[in-house]
């Protein structure tokens, strides 16, 4: 936004010329609220994926059928049997991740510009730890996702990767305790990210009302908790030898 | 009542500031916080020192002039209270207090605890007005407004523009202020003609004034001396998104 636009808007307050200084192309993604709307929309997509991903993963707990084939292996085969759908979904997810990260970086840069000098003393007693550390939990979860893809999707960092043998790959991969610990920590950080993000994205899109906001805030916390418990149960059961 | 005060001293916008400690031996519980600083300043002037600069005007909590950080909390420890209405009875003998000005690029420090909040005026200039015929005052009941709407508009209008929301926000965002102004006018029939353009312009100017973005953490709502709710920020977001789709250039009134 040029300085010229700013001058026109601040001096001509009478209506017409001030109105003409608005440029729609500038006013959406250039505006912080536009960027937050993009973060919220991509956040919804990513949360939807996390939910479906968890339901798929929980099949690790199902026993093999009479022929000794694990349910999760069949599920993997099923997903790979429709490459168009699989790659369609992957493209949407990659685009959502990139937009989410790109918007967060440009917003963070504006924040630093907004307060370059820190307070000598600052008391943040009223906000949650989760809400103040989104720019820490986010990047760590992003690194985890890269590792997770190389671990179970590509197999490059897996000790004994066998293509399509999902059950074997998961059990073998998470029997290594450093990997399992990283999974547990990353899932907990994803939980804190969702603890704030699931409600925050609604506020960013303008969804707020005294009659349902308390319910939305509570559901956000319940969902974040369920995502953590569901996901964390997998590395823990494997570490403890409950699932083999 | 004895206090140790650590006060940010900065002679001008361009000079570097630092914390300076003062022993305040003559505070009493009946003083307001600003009266306590008045006593300190009398002592400083008596010693030939430069008094501590701070903004103040009405001293009854309605003008929005006063405000600084006490121990990292905007307007000090009492919720819904400006510093001028904060009394020394809320502190204990021997307390150690850190006083700092609002810190934001958009609020340059003028001197000590006084900051320049003209950026707020420029946000108001961008859209904090309505178009209305001049002449005789119209009948107050000529336009029917539901009670709930007029009360919500009034709650938003309670914003005194003190800047505590910006000061408390880790991103130095002016969202609570801008949201309050947009809600105040947008909830009333008189505010509808300019509604779409108002949200777009005020948000744009707030950003050009280098205020940060909102991360919905709620520190602003907690320190607001007028208890403005985070709901006004959701309403600003809604009006902005709505305005982005509906606003037409050259419509003058900016109607949807």
Is B71 close to A132, i.e. CB distance below 8 A?
no
In whole angstroms, give the CA distance from residue A55 to residue B251. Answer: 51
Is A121 close to B72, i.e. CB distance below 8 A?
yes
For CATH 1.10.1060.10, list the domain ranges present in chain B: 118-246
**Which of A21, A28, A205 comes nearest B244 by C-beta?**
A28
Asked whether the beta carbons of B100 and B8 are under 8 A apart, the reply is: yes
Enumerate the residues of chain A whose CB falls inside 8 A of the CB of residue B241. 33, 37, 205-206
Of A151, A155, A154, A160, nearest in space to A179 by CA: A151
Q: Is A113 at the interface with chain B, CB within 8 A? A: yes
> How far is the alpha carbon of A23 from chain B, nearest alpha carbon, in Å?
8
CATH number of B3-110: 3.10.20.30
Q: Which residues of A61-84 are buried (b: 16+ CB within 10 A; e: fewer)?
A: eeeeeeeeebbbbebbeeeeeeee
From chain B residues 53-72, the ones with a CB under 8 A of any chain A CB are: 69, 71-72
Is B172 close to A205, i.e. CB distance below 8 A?
no
A98 Cα distance to chain centroid: 11
Q: Which domains does chain A have, with CATH numbers?
A: 1-28 (no CATH), 31-239 (1.20.1300)
In whole angstroms, give the CA distance from residue A64 to residue A72. Answer: 9
Is A127 close to B218, i.e. CB distance below 8 A?
yes
Q: What is the ipTM of this complex?
A: 0.90
Among the ranges given (A1-10, B104-113, B208-217), the one the predictor scored with the smallest mean pLDDT: A1-10
Enumerate the residues of chain B whose CB falls inside 8 A of the CB of residue A115. 103-105, 170-172, 212
Say which CATH superfamily domain B118-246 falls into. Alpha-helical ferredoxin (1.10.1060.10)
Number of neighbours of residue B190 by Cβ within 10 angstroms:
13
Q: How does pLDDT run across B115-149, given as a tens digit for each residue? A: 999 999 999 999 999 988 888 888 878 889 999 99
Enumerate the residues of chain B whose CB falls inside 8 A of the CB of residue A192. none
> How far is the alpha carbon of B217 from chain A, nearest alpha carbon, in Å?
5
In whole angstroms, give the CA distance from residue A202 to residue A216. Answer: 9
Q: How does pLDDT run across A163-205, given as a tens digit for each residue? A: 889 999 999 999 999 999 999 999 999 999 999 999 999 999 9
Q: Which residues pair with B3 in a beta bridge?
A: B24
Asked whether the beta carbons of B99 and B36 are under 8 A apart, the reply is: no
Q: Is A236 at the interface with chain B, CB within 8 A? A: no
Q: How does pLDDT run across B19-47, given as a tens digit for each residue? A: 999 999 999 999 999 999 999 999 999 99
**Strand B96-100 relative to strand B3-9: parallel, antiparallel, unpaired?**
parallel
For CATH 3.10.20.30, list the domain ranges present in chain B: 3-110
Assign B169 a pLDDT band (cuts: 50, 70, 90): very high
């Amino acid at each position: 936004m040029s300085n010229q636009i700013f001058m026109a808007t601040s001096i001509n307050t009478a209506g017409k010329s001030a109105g003409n200084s608005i440029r729609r192309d500038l006013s959406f993604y250039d505006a912080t609220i536009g960027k937050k709307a993009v973060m919220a929309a991509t956040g919804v997509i990513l949360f939807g994926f996390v939910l479906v991903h968890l339901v798929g993963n929980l099949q690790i707990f199902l026993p093999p059928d009479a022929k000794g084939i694990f349910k999760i292996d069949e599920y993997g085969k099923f997903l790979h049997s429709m490459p168009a759908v699989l790659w369609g979904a992957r493209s949407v997810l990659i685009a959502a991740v990139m937009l989410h990260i790109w918007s967060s970086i440009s917003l963070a840069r504006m924040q630093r510009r907004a307060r370059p000098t820190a307070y000598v003393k600052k008391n943040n007693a009223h906000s949650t730890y989760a809400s103040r550390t989104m720019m820490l939990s986010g990047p760590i979860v992003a690194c985890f996702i890269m590792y997770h893809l190389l671990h179970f999707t590509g197999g490059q960092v897996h000790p004994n990767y066998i293509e399509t043998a999902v059950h074997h790959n998961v059990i073998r991969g998470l029997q290594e305790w450093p990997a399992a610990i990283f999974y547990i920590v990353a899932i907990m950080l994803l939980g804190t990210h969702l603890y704030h993000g699931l409600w925050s994205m609604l506020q960013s899109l303008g969804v707020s009302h005294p009659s349902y906001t308390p319910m939305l805030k509570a559901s956000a916390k319940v969902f974040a908790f369920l995502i953590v418990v569901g996901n964390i149960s997998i590395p823990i059961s494997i570490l403890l030898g409950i699932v083999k | 009542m004895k206090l140790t005060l650590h006060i940010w001293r900065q002679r001008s916008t361009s000079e570097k500031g630092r914390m300076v400690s003062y022993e305040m031996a003559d505070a009493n519980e009946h003083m307001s916080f600003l009266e306590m600083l008045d006593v300190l300043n009398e002592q400083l002037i008596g010693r030939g020192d430069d008094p501590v600069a701070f903004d103040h005007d009405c001293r009854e909590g309605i003008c929005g002039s006063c405000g600084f950080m006490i121990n990292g909390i905007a307007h000090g420890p009492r919720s819904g209270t400006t510093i001028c209405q904060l009394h020394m009875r809320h502190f204990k003998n021997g307390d150690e207090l850190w006083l700092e000005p609002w810190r934001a690029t958009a609020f340059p420090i003028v001197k000590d605890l006084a900051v320049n909040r003209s950026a707020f005026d420029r946000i108001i200039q961008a859209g904090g007005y309505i178009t209305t015929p001049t002449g005789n005052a119209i009948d107050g009941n000529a336009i029917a407004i539901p009670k709930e709407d007029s009360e919500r508009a009034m709650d938003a209008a309670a914003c005194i523009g003190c800047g505590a929301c910006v000061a408390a926000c880790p991103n130095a965002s002016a969202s609570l202020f801008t949201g309050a102004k947009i809600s105040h006018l947008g909830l009333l029939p008189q505010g509808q003609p300019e509604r779409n353009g108002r949200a777009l312009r005020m948000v744009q100017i707030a950003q050009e004034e280098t205020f940060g973005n909102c991360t919905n953490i709620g520190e602003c709502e907690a320190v607001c001396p007028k208890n403005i709710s985070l709901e006004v920020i959701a309403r600003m977001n809604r009006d902005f998104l709505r305005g982005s789709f509906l606003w037409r250039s050259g419509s003058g009134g900016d109607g949807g």
